[in-house]
Amino acid sequence: MSQLTSTAIKEFKTGFAGSVLLPDHPQYDEVRQIWNAMIDRRPSMVARCTSPADVVHALNFVRQHNVPFSLRGGGHNIAGNAVCDEGVMIDLSPMKKVDIDQQHHQGHVEPGCTLAEFDTAAQAYGLATPLGINSTTGVAGLTLGGGFGWLSRKYGLTVDNLLSMDIVTADGQQLHASESENADLFWGLRGGGGNFGIVTRFTFQLHPVGPNVLCGLIVFPFEQAKSVITQFARFTETMPDELNVWMVTRKAPPLPFLPEEVHGKEIVACALCYAGDPAEGEKLIEPLRGFGTAYGEHIGVQPYTEWQQAFDPLLTPGARNYWKSHNFLTLDEGVIDTIIDYASTLPSPQCEIFIATLGGQASRVDPQAMAYSSRDANYVLNVHARWETAADDARCITWARDFFARSQPFASGGAYVNFLTEDETDRIAFAYGASYERLVAIKKQYDPENLFRINQNIRPA
């Protein structure tokens, strides 16, 4: 593997319209830092792309010089795949253009966009597509791994709403991928992560949403967790597609609607969003209030964009994060008891266990329609260990791994690839299930040398 010489870097700058950051550049440390502070890597060069031509130029360079490279969109991936040691970080974050086609309800989005930027542009026309729940996440990484959030029960996963993509493949070609053009590549891109190339533009189907939605939180004492989570599990099995309710158990943050004496105590909360007429939503959510005797609630009609950012304060960059995740068909007593056991021994004030509810439209898509195949996953559980200092690494990671092992007997097949950490390469084939062999064949066709390998890697052999 050749090292980057000053001559090679000088040659690279010729014909590259974006900016190039070397380790002595004042912006270098800021740009190489990503959301998960456990990841601290130093690329030899950061190539900040401004156009598809820049992407082609950067990709041709790393291929010709045989240097490792990483792709940065939002820099939010838990495994830290956005940044590499030595080599080149191909930084797509300056490519933030969003075009909304109001007439056809479509959104054209560049790979540097965050969820907040896409949501804001689409909501200017009362439109949205299903995205995640932390607005600083990058659209590109979220989409390529599947993508789900508050709207997924009504409108499906993020990839279910993907109409086409422009992509630069390993040989530097610019291709268009859709159901009618390069259909095999389009199949693999919808869930296959960054294994097949660099997407320079996404086109999404948009839907009428908001601009105001009924949403909010109901917070219950942890002592009522068994009753609350059991009722949550039964309620979510039959609720209409327009309603989504998630569960989280953690220590209470200092929310203004909670009594001060509750702050820092273990709680169990139901978070909800109703993508329909708020008056109808109020009737549907009334049973949630009977799950227990709540410490407090904050439910009302607010802009969809504000709800999409409601959890950002709990998910700021700069903390150390480690996740473990399972899919579930149902939430039975065994997994509920395991959640309660581990939620009573949280190793840091920021750790949490949350359950995202899927089903609805997300479950009606044929598992073979695209690379994302876990259509039977009605619930995605994420144990989110989060803490501040390296001294707590072992304690927090052990807690997450122990919980993961204890809850595994109750889980279903597959896993959400966006939640896999860098030490879970053994779970990649498991995550894709029946889709895996076809993904290997597509990888062999479009990236036979495994150029795109700093990711949840699908090997071409």
pLDDT at 435: 95
CATH architecture designation of domain 212-419: 3-Layer(aba) Sandwich (3.40)
pLDDT tens by residue, 81-122: 999 999 999 999 999 999 999 999 999 999 999 999 999 999
Place of tokens 């259909």: 183
Helix (H) or strand (E) holding 89: strand 88-91
pLDDT at 228: 98
Helix (H) or strand (E) holding 25: none
pLDDT tens by residue, 233-290: 999 999 999 999 999 999 999 999 999 999 999 999 999 999 999 999 999 999 999 9
What is the percent of the chain where pLDDT is above 70?
A: 100
List the beta strands (DSSP E) in 155-295.
Answer: 162-168, 174-178, 198-205, 207-208, 212-221, 243-251, 266-274
Place of tokens 């933030």: 96
pLDDT at 3 over 90: no
Cβ–Cβ under 8 Å, residues 138 and 123: no
**Integer CA distances (angstroms), 349 to 139, 252, 265, in order:** 29, 9, 9
pLDDT at 2: 53
pLDDT at 413: 85
pLDDT tens by residue, 189-244: 999 999 999 999 999 999 999 999 999 999 999 999 999 999 999 999 999 999 99
pLDDT tens by residue, 362-391: 999 999 999 999 999 999 999 999 999 999
SS3 helix, strand, coil % of the chain, rounded to 5?
35, 25, 40
For 130-167, the DSSP string reads: ---S-TTSBHHHHHHH----TTHHHH--TGGGEEEEEE
Distance, CA of 449 to CA of 30 (rounded, Å)? 32
Distance, CA of 15 to CA of 177 (rounded, Å)? 27
Domain boundaries, the chain: 6-91, 98-209+435-446, 212-419
pLDDT at 461: 82
Question: Taking all residues of the chain, what is their mean pLDDT, rounded to a whole number?
Answer: 97
Bridge partners (DSSP) of residue 301 are: 214
* CATH no., domain 6-91: 3.30.43.10
**Average pLDDT value for residue range 321-327:** 97
The torsion angle over the Cα atoms of residues 113, 119, 124 and 125, rounded to 10 degrees, is: 110
Cβ–Cβ under 8 Å, residues 307 and 211: no
pLDDT tens by residue, 333-355: 999 999 999 999 999 999 999 99
- Burial class from Cβ neighbours inside 10 Å (0-12, 13-18, 19+) for residue 172 reads middle
pLDDT at 1 over 80: no
Domain 98-209+435-446 fold is: 3.30.465
pLDDT tens by residue, 115-142: 999 999 999 999 999 999 999 999 999 9
For the question of whether the overall pTM of this predicted structure is more than 0.75, the answer is yes
**Average pLDDT value for residue range 31-43:** 97
pLDDT at 248: 98
